[in-house]
Amino acid sequence: MMEKVKIGELADAIMEGLEEYKDLATDEMKKSVKKSGKIVKQEIEKNAPKRTGKYKKSWAVKTTKEDANSIELTVHSRNRYQLAHLLEFGHAKRGGGRVRAIPHIAPAEEVGVKELEDEIERALRK
């Protein structure tokens, strides 16, 4: 709907429209980040090694920081965090030799970044 604006009020009308767009875009960005965090968690769980299944089930998404304009999520292992880097990169054995790496975190991160880019692009096209 068109609204008549006097020339002296044009700057205020433009700023009001931009603020409204910023609020909508911020909400969409936050939704996209939350969705990507869940996808990263699911990818890690899907590709994680599973001897007993406890490591695989230990992954969670936590909101680290959130304010009006931004959100920061952390995908982490709640109680098996000591194993994450050992499994991801491999490690030396006590008696010599090495345990092979099982990359499962880095590939999940790549999937999450791609998904986040796609989601943001879709949200801004609306």
CB atoms within 10 A of CB 32: 21
Closest CA to 116 of 34, 11, 43: 34
> Confidence band (pLDDT; 50, 70, 90) for 108?
very high
Domain boundaries, the chain: 7-125
| Residues 36-75: tens digit of each pLDDT | 999 999 999 999 998 899 999 999 999 999 998 889 999 9
> Confidence band (pLDDT; 50, 70, 90) for 16?
confident
Closest CA to 117 of 24, 2, 13, 39: 39
What would the two tokens of residue 118 be? 């796609």
What would the two tokens of residue 40 be? 């990263």
Asked if the model's pLDDT at residue 124 lies above 90, the reply is: no
Tell me the helix, strand and coil percentages in the chain, rounded to 5.
60, 15, 25
Residue 114 in 3-state DSSP?
helix
3-state secondary structure 8-56: HHHHHHHHHHHHHHHHHHHHHHHHHHHHHHHHHHHHHHHHCCCCCCHHH
Q: Which of 3-12, 39-48, 84-93, 108-117 has the lowest mean pLDDT?
A: 3-12
